[in-house]
Every structure is written in C-alpha cells, then in structure tokens.
Amino acid sequence: MPIRDFLLSLIRLTRTIQTWQSALLSLDAARREKLAAYAEEIAATFARAAQAFTILERTPSDLRARGDAVRELGRISGYLDDLVRVLESVLDGRKLAGFRRRLAGLAAPSPTSLGPSQRSHPRLDALIDAEGYFRALADGLRT
C-alpha cells in the first residue's frame, strides 16, 4: 500500500475514534486517564513519524530517517491493535465491527514505499492531523 493511502486511512480511523469519545467517557476515571495517556503516546509516535518524514523530504537517502519512519509506522499499527482490545469492552458490536473493518483495510507500508518517488507533503499533513486527533482525544478524556 502506498504510504499516502496508508496515512489517509489512519486519518479516517483517528476521526472515527474521536467520534466515539462519548462512549469512552462512560469509563471510570482511572481507565479514562490510562486511555488518555495511551492516546498521548500514540500522538507522540505520530509526531516522531512526521519528524522522520520531514528529514526524508530534505534528504531522501537518509537511511536513519527511513528506518525511523518505518519503525514509527510499525508502532502505530501495534497501537491500533491494542486499541481494538480496549474498545472491545466499551463499544457495541456494530461500532467495533466497523473499526475492525477499517483496521483490516490498513496494510503497513513497505520500506520501498518510502522512496523518493513517494515524497509528498500530504503524508506530513496526515501525520500531523492524526497527532492532533489523538491529542484531542486525550484532552477530552481528561475533562
């Protein structure tokens, strides 16, 4: 899957998660805080990925930035899997099935999709948007 498609799919998922914020507010305060901290960690991962892609924009041959980008995208995929397990106890079956369906449509981009031919600003915008959605989710869970 091209990196841009992967990131746009992530944006759709993060928007969906944010719309479920009211369902997540039914959790007790301790679980909400734990989920908020988790959302902040996901947001930080998006920020690190954006930083790696910024370096790749300037220096496409930077192997360290390329490795960082792949690593951070892998972490994001792992976080989303963990999030499904948390949501299983909170969301009704229909919402959870929709989330799983969207998640199944994501395939982690291959390292070759991070090459110079794939360089474009929409990937940075998508990462920054996703970071913002997760930070907003964390803030909302704490209010």
pLDDT, average across residues 54-71: 90
Question: In whole angstroms, what is the distance from residue 80 CA to residue 82 CA?
Answer: 5
Owning domain of residue 108: 3-142
Its pTM stands at 0.71
- Which CATH number characterizes residue 14's domain? 1.20.120
Q: How many domains does the chain have?
A: 1
**For 110-123, what is each residue's pLDDT tens digit?**
445 555 544 444 46
